[in-house]
Structure 1
Amino acid sequence: MDILVSGNSRRLDRSPAGPKGLFCYGTLQFDDVLKGLLGRVPQRLPASAPGYRAAALEGRVYPGLVVQALGGSAAGVVLTDLSNEEWRILDAFEDDQYELRELSLSTGTMGLAYVWQGGDVRTEDWDAEEFQARHLSAYAERCGRIGPRLAAGEPKGE
C-alpha cells in the first residue's frame, strides 16, 4: 500500500499487495468510539505491535504509539474490513502529529498504524481501563458529533 501525503491530509492508495488492516492501540479499540466516527464497529482481530508502546501523552486522554527502546509490545486490535470512505474518515479524525506507517504485527502480517510524531510523551503507558472509566463516555459523545461532519467532508472542528 502506498501512502500519499497531500497537505495536511494523508490519503491511501490501497494496493492488493499492501497491508489490509489498521492496527488500533488506543481509543479506536472501543466500540462506542468507532460507532461515533464510522456508524458501525468494523471486524477486528487481536494483535500487538512488537517494539512499540502505547504511551500516555501529556494533557491528552488518548495515547501515542511510540518506539519502545527496550523491546515490549503495544497491545491492540486490527480493523480488517475498513472501506475507503472509513479510511478517509479516520485519517481526517487523527491529529496532525500522527503519521500513518506500515508495521510488522504479532499476527505475522503487516498493518498500518497511526504513529505519534509529536512531543509530550510521558514515561508511563496509556491506561485503557482508566480511559474507559473516566473519559470514554464524553470522548464517544464527541466522536458522535465529529463523525457525521467528517463523513460529509467537513473539518473535524470541536
Structure 2
Amino acid sequence: MRPGSLPPPRHAHSSHNQPTYPTLTGSLMSHEVQQVLLRRIPPQLPAVAHGFHRFQIKDRCYPAVTALAEGSVQGRLLCGLTEKETKLFDLFEEEDYSRQVIQVATEEPFEGEAHMYLWVSGDAGLYGEWKYDEHFVPNLAGFVEMCKEFMLEDEVLELGLEEPEEGQ
C-alpha cells in the first residue's frame, strides 16, 4: 500500500479471537529491554508501517510515532506474546501512547492483527526524526535500569507473569 492510502488506525481492543502482534518501533525494539520486561526475547519479524513518522521528544530517549501520510517507520513485529505480556506493554506505555491496529509490510506473511503504540500526548516537544542507534542506544543502560524498577511496581506484579520455560 502507498503511504497516505491507509485507513485510519483502530483501537486495538478487538472482540474477535485473532492473534495480535505488537509492532515495536522505539525503545521496546531493544532485546535488552525485551529481556527485562518479558524475561525472554520472542520471535520477531522486521516490519514497515507506512503512513507514520517517528519523532524525537524533547529531553527523552524514546520516540513518538504519529500518523504522517508521507512517512514510514521500520520496526519489529513480535510473535507469540501472551495476553499478560501484551497487558504489560500496555502498562509500560502508559497514557502517552495508545495501542492501535495498523497495517504493516513484512517479508514473511502472518495471520492476525498488527498493533503499534501511537503517541497521543500532543505535538509539543516533538521534532525531527528519532533514530534508534543515535538517540536510544547511548541511553540503554539507564533505560534498562528504569525497566527493572518498573517490573517491581504493584500493577505489574499483579499481572502474575511467570518465569519463562527453559530455552525461551
**The TM-score by the shorter chain falls in which range?**
0.7 to 0.9
Which residue does 2:17 correspond to in 1?
16
Instruction: Kindly indicate whether the alpha-carbon contact (under 8 Å) linking 2:58 and 2:127 is maintained by their aligned counterparts in 1.
Output: no
Runs of 4+ residues over 4 Å off in structure 1 = none
Give SS of 1:21's match. strand
Identical amino acids, percent of aligned pairs: 25
Which residue does 1:123 correspond to in 2?
127
Which residue does 1:35 correspond to in 2?
35
Which residue does 2:158 correspond to in 1?
153
Equivalents in 2 of 1:126, 1:3: separation in Å? 24
Equivalents in 2 of 1:89, 1:104: separation in Å? 22
Equivalents in 2 of 1:43, 1:14: separation in Å? 25
What per-residue deviation string (whole Å, max 9, x for no partner) do you get for residues 76-107 of structure 1?
00111110110111111113021111001113
Give SS of 2:48's match. strand
TM-score, length-normalised on structure 2?
A: 0.76
Equivalents in 1 of 2:24, 2:56: separation in Å? 15
Please list every run of 5 or more consecutive structure 2 residues that lacks an aligned counterpart in the other structure. Answer: 1-9, 160-168
Equivalents in 1 of 2:81, 2:103: separation in Å? 19
| 1:94 is aligned to 2:98 | no
Larger Rg: 2
TM-score, length-normalised on structure 1?
A: 0.80
Which residue does 1:67 correspond to in 2?
67
* Alpha-carbon spacing, 1:72–1:144, altered in 2? closer, same or farther (3 Å): same
The root-mean-square deviation of aligned C-alpha atoms, in Å, is: 2.3
Equivalents in 1 of 2:90, 2:126: separation in Å? 24
Please list every run of 5 or more consecutive structure 1 residues that lacks an aligned counterpart in the other structure. Answer: 5-11
Which residue does 1:7 correspond to in 2?
none
- Report the alpha carbon displacement of residue 59 of structure 1 after superposing the two structures with TM: 2.2
Give SS of 1:139's match. helix
The number of residue pairs the alignment matches comes to 144
